[in-house]
């Protein structure tokens, strides 16, 4: 793998075919069953691209054990068969969570299953249609977090691509360090580049958040600061119609923000953080009133928010009985 940042208009590099499991684990110290890092990957109908993601995880060169927790949300295109193949080849590294019914359509989120299953002290997150190109990404990020206990997460740059070519588009992820207070306000961070401390539970409100990563950054702010590591090569973000954010139009993004800020405001109200509750309520109001043709579109939005509140109440009742 070339240690060079891809440039706009160039064909994106591909991760190499993975080494054998024994070779990957040769440099590891510590118990294989106690990974230092859990790479969490969510997939849905990614059969044509999931290999790029898995290969980019398996190419990581580390002196510590890591695992790959792959959650597939009942794909119908053969993605689960590919994941099973990797599990058979890498039984000590790849741990699948394969749903038989789509949980997203029933109001749940993959993170409600994948994050609790992660054994690592740290979580590195990447969706199944994105991938990494720096074989030292995990080693660099974990080394930083191990040496700097006042930081809750670190992240790097990202480059979008389409049809295997780098695009000249900026989706607005942070390219600087962030304070704890800034993190609590849910800044934009390139999710596929993140590595953070495995210190969070999965609150029921997360099922309502369309942008679940914002919820993660906000809650991590209670545990420390955010570090931008520019020495790590950018991760590659695939822009396509199946992506949640990449090709969504402005109105759809506003609607997704309405759901997300509603969830976050509800969470902070429940835990008694009045300042953040008021902050995200203000963000919510600005999103609603910023919608075009409010008189026509506001009613279905608010109806959906009401439905979300009722769903949240049911989730809370169900969790309380566990």
First to last CA, the chain: 47
**Domain tally, the chain:** 2
Question: 4 in a domain, yes or no?
Answer: no
Instruction: State the pTM of this model.
Output: 0.87
Question: 13 in a domain, yes or no?
Answer: no
275 closest CA partner among 214, 178, 186, 185: 185
Residue 298 has pLDDT above 90, yes or no: no
Residue 320 has pLDDT above 80, yes or no: no
Domain extent, residue 127, equals: 21-238
18-22, 136-140, 147-151, 238-242: the lowest-pLDDT one: 238-242
Domain co-membership, 137 together with 29: yes
| Residue 248 burial (CB count, 10 A) | 15
| Strands (E) located in the chain | 37-43, 66-72, 94-98, 122-125, 151-155, 158-162, 165-166, 195-197, 225-228, 235-238
Sheet holding 122-125, edge to edge: 94-98, 66-72, 37-43, 122-125, 195-197, 151-155, 225-228
CA distances from 6 to 1, 92, 127, 140, 213 (A): 12, 32, 20, 19, 25
Question: 228 in a domain, yes or no?
Answer: yes
Domain co-membership, 25 together with 129: yes
Cα angle 83, 56, 76 (rounded to 5 degrees) comes to 30
Give the pLDDT confidence score for residue 235 in this predicted structure: 95
Q: Which of 185, 203, 238 is the last residue of a domain?
A: 238
Residue bearing the bigger pLDDT, 151 or 210: 151
Residue 185 has pLDDT above 50, yes or no: yes
Give kind and range of the element (H or E) at residue 260.
helix 250-270
Residue 242 has pLDDT above 90, yes or no: no
Mean confidence (pLDDT) of the chain = 88
| CATH number of the domain that residue 184 is part of | 3.90.550.10
Question: 16 in a domain, yes or no?
Answer: no
Domain co-membership, 28 together with 152: yes
CA distances from 8 to 15, 16, 288 (A): 19, 21, 35
Average pLDDT in the 236-251 region? 65
Summarised one tens digit per residue, pLDDT across range 245-271 is 444 567 778 888 888 999 999 999 999
Domain co-membership, 199 together with 54: yes
Domain co-membership, 209 together with 298: no
């Amino acid at each position: 793998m070339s240690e060079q940042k891809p440039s706009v208009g160039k064909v994106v590099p591909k991760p190499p075919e993975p080494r054998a499991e024994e070779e990957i684990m040769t440099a590891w110290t510590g118990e294989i069953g106690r990974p230092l890092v859990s790479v969490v990957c969510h997939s849905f109908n990614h059969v044509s691209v999931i290999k790029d993601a898995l290969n980019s995880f398996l190419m990581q060169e580390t002196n510590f054990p890591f695992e790959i927790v792959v959650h597939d949300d009942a794909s119908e295109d053969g993605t689960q068969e590919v994941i099973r193949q990797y599990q058979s080849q890498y039984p000590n590294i790849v741990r699948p969570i394969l749903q038989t019914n789509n949980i997203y359509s029933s109001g749940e989120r993959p993170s409600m299953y994948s994050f609790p299953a992660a054994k690592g002290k740290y979580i590195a997150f990447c969706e199944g249609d994105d991938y990494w190109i720096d074989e030292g990404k995990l080693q660099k990020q974990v080394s930083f977090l191990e040496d700097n206990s006042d930081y809750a997460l670190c992240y790097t740059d990202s480059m979008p691509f389409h049809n295997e070519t780098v695009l000249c588009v900026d989706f607005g992820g942070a390219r600087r360090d962030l304070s704890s207070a800034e993190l609590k306000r849910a800044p934009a961070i390139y999710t596929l580049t993140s590595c953070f401390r495995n210190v969070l539970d999965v609150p029921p409100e997360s099922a309502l958040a369309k942008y679940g990563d914002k919820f993660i950054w906000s809650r991590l702010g209670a545990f420390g600061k955010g570090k931008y590591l520019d020495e790590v090569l950018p991760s590659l973000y695939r822009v396509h119609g199946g992506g949640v954010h990449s090709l969504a139009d402005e109105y759809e993004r506003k609607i997704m923000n309405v759901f997300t800020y509603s969830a976050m405001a509800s969470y902070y109200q429940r835990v008694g953080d009045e300042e953040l509750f008021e902050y995200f309520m203000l963000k919510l109001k600005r999103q609603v009133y910023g919608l075009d043709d409010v008189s026509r579109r506001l009613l279905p939005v608010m109806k959906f928010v009401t439905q979300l509140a009722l769903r949240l109440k049911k989730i809370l009742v169900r969790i309380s009985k566990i």
